């Protein structure tokens, strides 16, 4: 039986949160869960358009997306990077099937690793990514990721990010699918580490940009990757990738 407050019983209606699509900040995923919350493409464009230009132009560079899911982030990265690779531990039918945390990679295999990893593994993804990139790592995570004492001691105090780029807009994510009409109570930020130099972490606000960066085709299912598609090479299939599965990581 639902209990009513005295205020409600007096005839005054209480506001109720719409939970139909909301992804709450305190959500907890089971350990065996895929934690598949696809990134709206405009949120990936926000990283490239507003955050990474502070560190140079990504054109002519390479990028790995190691938690690609159905490919919604990688298809945006392919708009900007010269070559990208995409993989996931689960066979979503888009990229290569690979467990990023156990697969061996050569040091400096890619210029960047950019991904929205499972939240419970985000620290491990960030740590490994730093070891296999030339330029840097960008992790999309719930803002509460920066709150843990353990993560501070293991990660942030030892390897402070160059920038914490907080979305001022909500970035709606729904488990298992993109949903243009979704809402959320969760805040998200891009956390970026650079492999050159150490400086105090900069706090940066990503301005309202969804209306500017969203495209009509963003919510269409991405086509499976093909070697040589458009101007990018699939690094997993190309000769250039042949020597990368060696020891680092």
pLDDT value, residue 17? 46
Q: Is residue 249 part of a domain?
A: no
Q: How far is Cα 179 from Cα 187, in angstroms, rounded to an integer?
A: 17
What DSSP string describes 180-235?
Answer: TT---S--EEEEEEESS---PPEEEEEPS-HHHH--GGGGSPPPPP-TT-TT--BT
Q: Is residue 230 part of a domain?
A: no
Q: Is residue 100 part of a domain?
A: yes
Domain residues for the domain of 111 are 35-212
pLDDT in tens, 12-35: 444 444 444 444 444 444 444 468
Domain count, the chain: 1
Q: What is the pTM of this model?
A: 0.80
Tokens of 32: 């065996």
Q: How far is Cα 92 from Cα 74, in angstroms, rounded to an integer?
A: 13
Asked whether the beta carbons of 69 and 117 are under 8 A apart, the reply is: no
Q: Is residue 1 part of a domain?
A: no
For residues 44-55, give the mean pLDDT.
Answer: 97
Question: How do 163-167 and 188-194 pair as beta strands?
Answer: antiparallel
Res 232 pLDDT > 60 = no
Res 171 pLDDT > 90 = yes
Q: Is residue 220 part of a domain?
A: no
User: For residue 134, what is the enclosing H or E element?
Assistant: strand 133-142
pLDDT value, residue 25? 45
pLDDT value, residue 245? 36
pLDDT in tens, 68-126: 999 999 999 999 999 999 999 999 999 999 999 999 999 999 999 999 999 999 999 99
DSSP 238: S
For residues 122-143, give the mean pLDDT.
Answer: 97
Confidence of residue 196 (pLDDT cuts 50, 70, 90): confident
In 3D, which of 165, 124, 112, 141 has the Cα closest to residue 39?
141
Q: Is residue 236 part of a domain?
A: no
- Percent of the chain at pLDDT > 90 equals 71
CATH code for position 188: 3.40.50.150
Q: Is residue 201 part of a domain?
A: yes
pLDDT value, residue 226? 65
pLDDT value, residue 55? 93
Task: Calculate the dihedral angle through the C-alpha atoms of 177, 179, 184, 186, rounding to the nearest 10 degrees.
Answer: 50
pLDDT value, residue 54? 94
pLDDT value, residue 244? 39
Q: Is residue 53 part of a domain?
A: yes
Which residue's structure tokens are 């990474």?
A: 52
pLDDT value, residue 161? 97
Phi–psi pair at 37, nearest 5 degrees: -120, 90
Handedness of CA 96, 98, 101, 103 (dihedral sign): negative
In 3D, which of 135, 147, 175 has the Cα closest to residue 28?
175
Least confident of 38-47, 121-130, 193-202, 239-248: 239-248
Q: How far is Cα 206 from Cα 159, in angstroms, rounded to an integer?
A: 23
pLDDT value, residue 34? 66
């Amino acid at each position: 039986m639902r209990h009513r407050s005295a205020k409600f019983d007096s005839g005054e209606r209480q506001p109720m949160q719409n939970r139909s699509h909301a992804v709450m900040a305190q959500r907890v995923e089971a350990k065996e869960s895929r934690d598949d919350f696809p990134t709206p493409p405009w949120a990936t464009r926000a990283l490239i358009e507003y955050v990474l230009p502070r560190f140079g132009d990504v054109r002519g560079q390479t990028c790995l997306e190691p938690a690609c899911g159905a490919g919604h982030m990688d298809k945006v990265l392919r708009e900007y990077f010269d070559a990208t690779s995409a993989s996931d531990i689960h066979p979503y039918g888009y990229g290569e099937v690979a467990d990023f945390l156990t697969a061996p990679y050569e040091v400096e295999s890619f210029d960047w690793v950019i991904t929205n990893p499972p939240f419970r593994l985000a620290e491990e993804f960030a740590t490994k990514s730093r070891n296999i990139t030339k330029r840097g790592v960008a992790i999309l995570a719930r803002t509460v990721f920066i709150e843990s004492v353990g993560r501070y001691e293991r990660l942030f105090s030892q390897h402070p990010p160059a920038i914490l780029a907080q979305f001022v807009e909500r970035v709606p994510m729904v488990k298992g699918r993109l949903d243009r009409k979704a809402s959320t109570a969760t805040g998200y930020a891009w956390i970026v580490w650079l492999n050159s130099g150490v400086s105090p972490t900069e706090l940066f606000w990503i301005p309202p940009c969804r209306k500017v960066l969203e495209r009509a085709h963003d919510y269409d299912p991405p086509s499976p990757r093909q070697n040589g598609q458009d101007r990018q090479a699939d690094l997993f299939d190309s000769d250039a990738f042949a020597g990368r599965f060696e020891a680092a990581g």
